[in-house]
Every structure is written in C-alpha cells, then in structure tokens.
Chains A and B, each alone.
Chain A
Amino acid sequence: MAQIPNLDNAPLNLTSLREQSQKELLNILKNIRGKKCLVIDPKLGSSLSSIIQTSLLKLNLMKFICSNVHDDVSKGLQREYFVYFVPRRTVVCEKILEEENVYNLMTIGEYPLYIVPLDEDVLSFELDLAYKESQVDGDTSSLWHIAKAIHKLEFSFGVIPNVRAKGKASVRVADILNRMQAEEPVNSPDMVVPEINTLILLDREVDMVTPMLSQLTYEGLIDECLHVNNGSVELDASIMGLQQEGKKIKVPLNSSDKLFKEIRDLNFEVVVQILRQKATSMKQDYTEVTTTTQSVSELKDFVKKLNSLPEMTRHINLAQHLSTFTSKPAFLGQLDMEHTIVEAQSYDICFEYIEELIHKQEPLVNVLRLLILFSITSSGLPKKQFDYLRRELLHSYGFEHMATLNNLEKAGLLRKQESKSNWLTIKRALQLVVEDTDTANPNDIAYVFSGYAPLSIRLVQHAVRSGWRPIEEILKLLPGPHSETKRGRFSSSLSFDTLQASANIDKVADGRRSLVLVVFIGGITFAEISALRFLSAQEGMAYDLIVGTTKIVSGHSLAETFVERLG
C-alpha cells in the first residue's frame, strides 16, 4: 500500500498542491551540482516522507549546523554547504550563522513548504511547537506562517469570503490574513465562486479539555497508545504477525486503505464488532467454499473478498494489540477519572486520585494530562492545594521540573484559582456530556469520547449551523476574543446570519458542496477530526468540512511540549 495518502477524492484539488511541493524540492536538488550529502532535520524527514513533507528550523539546529561546519573546517575538508530553510529563511537564523562565522561558507535558500496534505481532508502546517511557543514564549511566528499558508491556499482556490475566529491567536491570524490580502491581493475573477466558503479559526487554548481526554475512536486510540507519526505507526514486527524478531515495521494509516477509511472514525468498541462480523462472514464463505460445490462466479466473488484479507489481518492485529492497553485497569481507571473530572461534581475524589498518581511516580506526562484537565475544569486550584501538588511533583520527579511548572502556569494550564469556575455552565449550555450514547449508531459527535462531545467541535457545529450569535454569551466565557468578518467582494453585501441561506447559492455548479475550512491553531486530535467527519456526513449538512492544523496532536504530545528540564 502506498505510503503517501491518495488525494484523488479530496474535496479540494490537493494533488496539485502536493505536486507543486514535489517539483520545488526537485528543483532545489537539481540546482546543486555534483554529489550531494543531504542532511535533513529529523522532524522534517518524516514530513518529507508524506509529500515527499515540515517544521521551522529552530535556533538550536543552527548551532548544530555551525558545529558541523566548524568541524569540517578544522579537519581541512572543503565542502560546499547549502542550507535550505523550510518554509523560509529567517533573519534570526542567518544572524546566528553570521555570528558563528559560517555564513559566508554556505549558500542559503528556501523551500516554501507551508502546507502538507496529510489526507484527503486534513492539511497540516507542521508547526509542532506552535502552541507552546505562542502560549509560553510569546513567539507568534507560527501565526504568521498559518496566515501565509491560508493565503497560499487562497491563491489556488480564491479568497475565502467568510472568516470566523475564536481565541487570541485565531483573531490575530484573521487579522494578518487580511493584511496579506491588502499587501499581496489574490486577484479572483469576479464571477467565480471561491471554492472555500468559510474559514473557521479556533485556538487550541479555547478547548484544552478535549485533547487531555483519552481518545476512543480507532485512529485516536492508536495515536494514544502507539503514537501516529505523519500517517503511520511503527511497531514490532511480531505484533503484526510477522516472524521477524525485534524488527520494527512501519504501518501506514491513511484513507488509501479502504478498511481503515471505513473504521478509523468509529468508536473502538464498534470497530471490534465490525472486525468480528467481517471475519465471521469470511469464515462462513470459506466453509461454504470448502464444503459445498460452487459455481465459478461464486468462487470469483470469494476470491475478490480474499483481496481484502491483508487489510483485515493488519487491522485485526492492530486492534488486538490495542486491547492489551485498553484492558489494563489503569487505563480504565483513567477513563473513569477523566469522566469524573469533566462532570466536575466530585472535587475531592479527583484531587486524591491525582495526588496518588504523583506519589506512585506514574509517568509525568500522564499526571500532567489529568492535572491540566483538572485545573481547567475548576479554573485553577485553590492556592494551598496548588502549592501542595506542585511541591509533591517536584519532590517526586525532581526540581528540574520547575521549568515545566512555570511553562504550564504561563500557558494558563495549571494555575491558582482566582475566580469561580464556569465549566458547569459551559458544559450544560453546549451539552458536552451526553447520556446514553449509542456508539454503534451515533446521533451525536459525543460518540468519539463515549459520552463527551468535544467542546471545539461543538463550536464548529454551531458556527456552521446557525452562526455564533446565539451562543455569544457562552463564547464570552471561553478564553480569548472572537470575531466574524466578511472579505473580498462579499464584504459589503451579505450579513453573517444569512450564511445558511446563501449556502444554496454558493453551491458549486457541479453538485459538490461548498467547503468550510476549519483551522485549529495549536493542533487537533484524531478524535476531533473524526467528529468533524461525522458532522460532515450528517444529512442536511450544507458543507464539506476540511481540517487545517498546526499539527496533529494528542494529550500526550501536547503535554510533552511543555515538559522542560531546567538542565
């Protein structure tokens, strides 16, 4: 199966996007004559595998480059150095190269890779540190990059007429995007309807609850347990039923795999059932083939079914491996606790549970996830308990984690209580907790967390369905400002509440639905993507939804970015 996702069925012409990136890379390589030794930022390497795919070259990397060059120079080696910055060269990196006296030794170029299509409906800007950088360091470089990426999309697909943003970073991105349009306008011919109708920008900060919860969709669970990296997981070969001891294999996970496409967004419980049904029906067919005489065409059908066998085997193996995680009492205990915290009714139980985790020196990131969840839903901890837990953390995991605590506090994820929590109001108003969720035949996005509807996706749901005006009071309770703007030639005509009505007019002539691009600044989880796909597939939905994100995250990877050792 192809490692690179097949984009032919994408609602936007993403193939052209990918092809352009490929061409640009090849041009760079062609332009350098002679034998090359290609050194790629490891983060970039995995990204390149899916464009062949990015990340901002970071400051420390510059030091690394310099030390390598110095090393060569001291050995008297003469080489030509070409440094290509992805997606663009920056003053600060060049400054470092200059200060290290290697600037003159190298040819500097850039590879303008701003967007990587991860799947038919998922675009990634590959800015994995975006959330931490903007929340903790105040470095908003990523926002400019996001705006630039969206602006690039606009060059291909027309100016996006409606923009909704919630959260500080999102509003800023919308603002930068408007500036870019003013500085470097996209000239869209007047009569063509832009392919993307609405842009919804959401800060991860607006909803930090959802990513901290354990994802229960198939794809989400794989990420929680095995860490999906750029559309594939690495596993021991033995798990996949291969006889190679100790060898790792890469299992690609994208929509080119038909079975995966069918089950990736379902709740894991349901996935197990489906796999069982499929296996049973195949077994039945098998016994029929072996015991009764059958016509050639029936045999043909059977052989056709056999073609899907490798895919089935793969997912059965995977699912089996996952159940070894999900059946652990610790996992179940954690699920229980997550739901208790979200319910926000029994403060003491939660507090003691977390305290115990710390005492038992459970992995730090797991503790932090629950702690963040706890702090957010109760809008901080009372000073005494705040200091107590922090002290216990330092005692258990070492004083070097002072920096981690500091980061979390700066980002507002773990803090002292200053006001009463309004989580209960939000939860009730947006119906975040849904009782009696039927995970097999879901009628609400809550199925992805077995009873909790992700807050972020509820906001998208409202935005698409009726605009944000009806829930304005609730929006005000969430962090950051929100804004709604009309752009381009639509700026003067329609008002926002008529979006629904105008959707019919906006329908692209060939029967495709018009598009809503939902951009998560700070990352999105697989479970949320699944919920969006669920929304998109609902009857009466006027739009196709596609997702843009700085990076695909999980509670684990998100919490991990904040972990910093003073050392």
Chain B
Amino acid sequence: MANVSVAAEWQLLGDRYYRKPELYHPMQWRHIDLSRNKVACAPFGGPVALIRDDSKIVQLYSESALRKLRLFNSAGVSLSDVVWKNTGGRLIGLSWSDDHTLVCIVQDGTVYRYNVHAELIEPNLSILGHYFDENVVECVFWGNGVVCVTDTCKVFAVPDFKTRTVVRLADPPPPPPGELELELELPHCVAVIEPQYTLSGNVEVLLAIRDGVVMVEEDEVQALPVPPGDGPLQKMVVSGNGRFVAAFTHDGRLAVYSTRFEKMFEYQCESALPPEQLAWCGLDSVLLYWDDMLLMVGPSDEPVRYLYDEPIVLVPECDGVRILTNTSMEFLQLVPNSTVSIFKIGSTSPAALLYDALDHFDRRSAKADENLRLIRSSLPEAVEACVDAAGHEFDVSRQRTLLRAASYGQAFCSNFQRDRIQEMCKTLRVLNAVRNPEIGIPLSIQQYKLLTPSVLIGRLINAHRHLLALRISEYLGMNQEVVIMHWACSKITASLAIPDAALLEILLDKLRLCKGISYAAVSAHADKNGRRKLAAMLIEHEPRSSKQVPLLLSIGEEDTALMKATESGDTDLVYLVLFHIWQKKQPLEFFGMIQARMLARDLFITYARCYKHEFLKDFFLSNGQLQEVAFLLWKESWAKGKNPMASRGSPLHGPRIKLIEKAHSLFSETKEHTFESKAAEEHAKLIRMQHELEVTTKQAIFVDSSISDTIRTCIVLGNHRAAMKVKTEFKVSEKRWYWLKVFALATIRDWDALEKFSKEKRPPIGYRPFVEACIEADEKGEALKYIPKLADPRERAEFSGLMITHVKLIIAFIFLCLLAFLCSDWNGQGSC
C-alpha cells in the first residue's frame, strides 16, 4: 500500500519519526566538489556561495588558477560569478546576512560584501581598524552580525552590517602565570548567542578556553562553570532559540547544556575525534558529521546513522536541517504529527481512515462509505490533519492527494472552516512556485510562515525575479507597489542603451498597473543613474506636488518646479523653491525668475520685508518699483526714530529726515504717487517743526504726533501763535481748525477763551462743536450758551433733551436696572 511506502522512508529516533525528503536531485550544477570549496548557504532556502578553499591543497583541473566566487540558488542553478581579486590575505569566513548580502571576511579583517548578483557593495569595512598587525583566525556569523577572534585572542563584533559599527569586546582572561610559555592560547572553539536572545540585548560570545568556557560581552567577561571532566570542549553550537548549547567534549562525548552550562544530556560517541560539522536539527536533535557518516543524536539513547559517500554541508533551518551534497539537496526534518497520523504503519486515526476512504472512493469501492461512517464524529479533525499534512509535503502529487482527501471529507462535515482548504491551496501554490528549480527557494511551510510573504517577495525582487514576485503579490492580494517600483529602478539601471523616450514608455506601461505609486522615487533613481532627461519626463507623471517639486529642484528644473509649486497652492512648496533658487542664482537672475510669477514674488516680498530689507530694496530697484523703495525708506525712518543711538547729532539734518526726504524724491519720480510724495514732504516738514517746538517749549512731547495733535498740544500749552503757524504751514482747513481748537479749549476748561473764539467770526461749521465739547466736558451751563445759536432746529431740540433720543432703549435700560436689583434680591434670599 502507498501508506507503507511513505512511512518506510522514516527513521525512528526515540519515539519520533524523522524523514529526509530530497528537495533537488540531481543538482543543476556540474562538476562541483564541495570538499574543495568554502561554502556558505543562506537559511530559508537562500542562495549558495562557493569559492575554492585556499586553506587546502587541491588539484586544479582545466581551470584558471584565479579563484572564482560562484553563486547558485539552492537547486544549483548558477546566479552569477566573479573572479576573487580581493586583497587582505586568506579568506577566513563567508556567510549570508538576513538581507542576502554575502559577507566575506579575510585575514586582515577587511569585510567584503556582495549582493546576489556578485557585485561588490562598496564601501568595504575593516574590522581590525588600527590593529593592523593582527589577523583574524576565526569568525562566527549570525543574522546580520559577526564575531571575529584574532590571533592574539582579541574579540571584535559587528552587531549589524547595516550600521557598520565595529565593537571591540572585552578580552578573555590571560593564561595563568605559570603557563606563560604557551604564549599564544587560542580558544578551541567559538559560539555566539544572538543579541535577540540575550538579556542585555548585545551579543554574547562563548569561548572554549582551556578546560572551561568564558562568556565575553562588550565590557564584561564571565567564566561559565563547565561540569568537571567535560573540558576542553572541541566544538560548540548554540540552538536556534538561543537557549541550549551542544558541545563535543575532548573525550568524544556529545553534551547538551543550557546556556549557563548546566548539563541536560550527553551521549558517548564512538570517535573521540571532533566532528567536522555540528548542527542542531530543529530543537529536538543534534547532528554530527564525520567524514562519511552523519549521526543524529536525540534525547533517547539510540542515534540514527546516515551514510554519505560524498562531502556534505549542513544548513540549519528553524524546523530541520538542509543537507547539501555534490549532487543533491535534502531536507532532514521531524515528521509532522498530522503526517504521522495519516501515514504511520497501521494507523487507525480518523485522518488515516479518511485518506484511505478517498483511496476506496477513487477505486469505486463501497468501503469508502464504511470508513466515513467510522469517523463521522471526528471528521473535522481528520480533514484538518489532511490539510495540515498537505502543507508539509514537498511532493506535489502527494499534496494533491491529501488535499483531495480533505475536500472529500469536508463534503460530509458541515462545520468545517471552508476557506481553510482554499488558504492552504494558495500557500502551496506559492511554495511550489518558488521551489521550482529555476527559482530554487525550497521553503517548508513553517519557514514560509516565519519568513512572511512580504520578505519572500523582497528576496524574489532582490534576485530580479520580478514577474514571479508580481504574480505572487497579486495572488496574495498584497500591494504590488514594492515590486513594480523595484522593477522600474532595476530596469533603468539595466537599460543604459535604451533611449529616454522608449524607456519611458516601457516604464509607464508597468507603473500604470499600480495606483498611487511614487513616480518621484523612480525619477529620483533615474537621476541617480545619470538620466536627467528621463527623470524629468518621469516626474511629470507624479501627482503629488509635495514629492514632485523637491525632485524637480534636485534635477535642476527650477522653472518647472516653481510652476508646479505655484499650481499646487501650497505656499510652503513655493518657499522651498524660492530659497533654493535664491541660494543658487545671482540676484539679478533670481529677480528675473520671480518677477513674472505673482505668488512667488509676493511671498518673497513678505519674507524679505521681515528679514532682508536691503535685498528687497535691490529687488524693487531692479524692476523700477521706486515707490516701494520709498515706502521701505519711510518705514526705516521710524525705526531710526525709535532707536536713540541713531538720532544723535542735529535732529534737523538727522538721518531720519534724510530718509524721509529720499522717500519723497523717489515718490516724485512717478506721476501716480504725487499724493505719497506730498505726504512725505509734509512729514519731513512736520518733524522739523516739531523739533523746533520741542526746543522752544523745552518739552519732548511733539515729535511723532500728528498735525492735529500738534495743534491741540500747542493750544493746550497756550501757545496760540505756534498753533496758528502749524495751521497755515500745513493749510489746515477752517473746519478742522475749529473742531481742534474748540476741543482743545474745552480740555483745559478755558470757557472764556472758548466764548471769545465763538465770537471771532461766524464759525464755518456752526456752533455744534461748541455744544458737543461742553457736553462732553459735562458743563451743561456752558453748553446752554451755544444751543440757541444752532442753526438746525432739530439739533436744537436734540441737545435740549440732553441726548435722550432712543426712548425705547432708555426705558429698557431703566427696567433692566430694576430687574438686576430684583435678581440680586432673590439670590440673597436663596442663600438664606
């Protein structure tokens, strides 16, 4: 039966089954011998990097003596290669970082980084810095970081290749004084606990030195108590969750410790020789690899042995280990529970029966129904197990059978979540698509969930698999912007030969697929690639002016930028352009550019009015707006008036008056500003006069008051001649003169003078000013003198009634007074 053959491939370790399905066989590469090479495989089914191992003596066949760094996908399809010409000595270690950058560390501590296209990513990083006489002897990588140990046993770490900072960790303790002859004492082996699993959030390095282990941190060294008899440890590796350490002791035992080195378990191996490779398989077992044997040790006694007649590389994954050989890629994993329940020999679990029922159903056997009846009550869990098992399957036809079994069972149970099967189909389609040897990313479903679809898409586009990435993101209902954007940028980089217009068409064709995509970003990329014209054409399509304008500036399209900014109505953008041009251009050119653009010009003037007076004057002069310059000068004259330091010297020829006179002459340049011109002239005259008055009266109360005020002040001071002089000098009308004098006299309550004034001649505006002034001063008796003289009988009546006109409101007023009184009365009682 089919079931038997499935389970026959499993191995039992303790009470758990393991299986080792082949992911790729044969590998697509030819003539690769892993043992001749240094190999780096990225987890999550990532790419494989190979380079001839320069620490081994190998025979060269018909090949160049120059070494080549070769990159493959997990199925052995070549991605790219490059000749290794880097200086710095022997290659010590290479590994893939989380974002699929290949990090290579050479002897002198230089770090070379490559992308999956084997292009060197500048700049290089030097770990050892000024310790140039030291060499790196060992390095251990994790996620995005590395720890290096030098030949003098100094420890350096790069916590994150993105930030590129190097940290020197604390030095491990020196050898005890008695053993000084062992001058160079290097650790037997090194392991790291990733920052995400440590308390401090910094990396912790475990060094096996002498009989013990020390833990080194940034500024702390701590000796860990290794159980006596175990040390020196020959090889160490930390588990995927950072909580356990597997180590191979000097006497051939495999021991598993907690990270504080409390022993959990040990196993006596047959060989005391340390294994070439030591790796965790998930969290349940440890793999040891010697020359031709792979030993899998679990918590129970009896290990599993696999024999290999070719070299292998172990690639730890979160849920197992991938085994790379010269000719194949396998995946060693714990058989999932759902799979066990279905395929275990003699299994009578509901899932197994359901699977069997499908088989009968396909063969049109009535036994199908019988099986179903047996498991009726537990049908949902049987369906669930089939769906789950299908997910863990690498073989497409078996996936299909399991899913068919699930859907067959689902037909008989009403309360099963229907979209569960659909979801699984979707996920499997994606997984199968990326497992295709051409793509070569053999993800298990668990890895896929841990990696997340968006990271997977990121990796696909990074490997320039844009079409597949687009299809997947479309299929999963994700935003396609990332993919299209990356495609567009890559396209621009790769299409140096295509003329701008043609390339634009190609790009637009795809960019249109995605609403709201940032044309500005693509355009910026084009500009960075030296295609300014293309950038300008692209930016035209960006709908968001806030993105468009800054970019236009950066590609030197100031005029367009100014236009777009103005159109957008966002003054902030206009200012942005304005300052940019201002800084970049000669003043005259700048003036020319903004002159024709109203909004830009007005904003410039507003700003300059506050902060750049002189520059603003230049601007107005450059376009002949002399009156504006005049206004500015006039304004400055006031600032001078307020500043006592500026008014030193003779006030009559002081800088203030000069400024006003200058303004006057500028105003008179144009016909339209005769009014302003006259006003400035009068103003200058007024200030002179006021200065004189201040000198004669010895009172500093005149300057900066108006003409009317000056007259009033003169009259109040009793200086009628001066008042008269001001009046004639500035041709003050009789009307105004009467109002001013009447009110001034009333202010000093000189009622006789007022009466005399009223009799001088018939006042040009009648006697109303006299009445009003008296009433305002609350001299009703005086007012009565003039009321009969009023010409208008209505006015006469009005003033006789002493201002009471709006009867309605007055009544309301009296009433309200009463009411307020009433209310306060109530309030009083209320509080009693």
Contacts and interface: CB of A to CB of B under 8 A. Distances in A.
Interface of A: 59-60, 63, 88, 90-92, 95-96, 99, 133, 137-141, 143-144, 147, 172, 175-176, 179, 182-184, 241, 269, 272, 275-276, 279, 283, 286, 306, 309, 312-313, 316-317, 319-320, 323-324, 326-327, 329, 332, 355-356, 359-361, 387, 390-392, 394-400, 402-403, 406, 565-567
B415 interface: no
Contact of B638 (A272, A306, A567): A567
Contact of A327 (B572, B809, B819, B826): B809
B290 interface: no
Contacts of A176: 568-570
B537 interface: no
A313 B610 contact: no
The 10 closest A-B pairs by CB, nearest first: A138-B602, A567-B638, A398-B706, A176-B569, A141-B571, A320-B816, A399-B683, A395-B707, A359-B739, A91-B575
Contacts of B803: 329
A276 B314 CA distance: 97
B606 A137 contact: yes
27 contacts: A59-B607, A60-B610, A91-B579, A92-B603, A99-B611, A133-B606, A137-B606, A141-B571, A143-B569, A144-B570, A144-B572, A179-B568, A183-B543, A184-B544, A272-B816, A306-B830, A320-B813, A323-B809, A324-B813, A327-B809, A360-B739, A361-B708, A361-B709, A392-B733, A395-B732, A399-B686, A402-B676
A399 B816 contact: no
B603 A139 contact: yes
A567 B635 contact: yes
Interface in B511-543: 543
Contact of B679 (A63, A90, A391): A391
Contacts of A398: 704-706, 709
B827 interface: yes
B832 to A, nearest CB: 13
Contacts of B568: 144, 176, 179
A353 to B, nearest CB: 12
Interface in B577-635: 579, 598-599, 601-603, 605-607, 610-611, 631, 634-635
Contacts of B200: none
A272 B819 CA distance: 11
A313 B827 contact: yes
Contacts of B599: 138, 140
B475 interface: no
B545 A140 contact: no
A406 B631 contact: yes
Given A90-B575, A91-B572, A279 B822 contact: yes
Contacts of A359: 735-736, 739-740
Contacts of A275: 816, 819
B641 A567 contact: yes
A254 B255 CA distance: 79
Interface of B: 543-546, 567-573, 575-576, 579, 598-599, 601-603, 605-607, 610-611, 631, 634-635, 637-639, 641-642, 675-676, 678-680, 682-683, 686, 704-709, 730, 732-733, 735-736, 739-740, 743, 765, 798, 803, 805-806, 808-810, 812-813, 815-817, 819-820, 822-824, 826-827, 830
A366 to B, nearest CB: 16
A383 B793 CA distance: 34
Nearest to A331: B806
Nearest to B636: A566
B545 A183 contact: yes
A566 B569 contact: no
Nearest to A406: B631
Contacts of B602: 137-139
B696 to A, nearest CB: 22
A397 B570 CA distance: 38
Contacts of B810: 327
Contacts of A356: 739, 765
B823 A312 contact: yes
A437 to B, nearest CB: 15
A395 B708 contact: yes
A244 B472 CA distance: 77
Contact of B631 (A88, A279, A403): A403
B517 to A, nearest CB: 13
B812 A272 contact: yes
Given A183-B544, A320-B813, A399 B682 contact: yes
A95 to B, nearest CB: 6
A358 to B, nearest CB: 8
Contacts of B798: 329
A172 B569 contact: yes
A95 B576 CA distance: 9
A276 B543 CA distance: 62
A172 B599 CA distance: 13
Given A59-B610, A59-B611, A395 B730 contact: yes
B675 A387 contact: yes
A319 B638 contact: no
- Could you say which of B568, B571, B675, B680 has the most chain A C-beta atoms within 10 Å of its C-beta? B571
B611 A96 contact: yes
A394 B639 CA distance: 19
B809 to A, nearest CB: 5
Contacts of B682: 394, 399
Contacts of B579: 91-92, 95
Given A139-B606, A183-B543, A326 B706 contact: no
A176 B822 CA distance: 57
Given A92-B603, A139-B571, A139-B606, 9 more contacts: A59-B607, A90-B571, A91-B572, A275-B819, A309-B826, A309-B830, A320-B816, A398-B704, A402-B679
A286 B572 CA distance: 64
Nearest to A99: B611
Contacts of B709: 361, 398
Given A286-B826, A316-B819, A399-B706, A175 B812 contact: no
Nearest to A271: B812
B642 A567 contact: yes
Nearest to B566: A140
Nearest to B815: A276
Given A91-B576, A138-B602, A144-B569, A182 B819 contact: no
Nearest to A58: B610
Contacts of B809: 323, 326-327
Contacts of B808: 269
A90 to B, nearest CB: 5
Contacts of A92: 572, 575, 579, 603, 607
A391 B730 CA distance: 11
Given A323-B816, A395-B706, A565-B638, A329 B569 contact: no
A286 B610 CA distance: 64
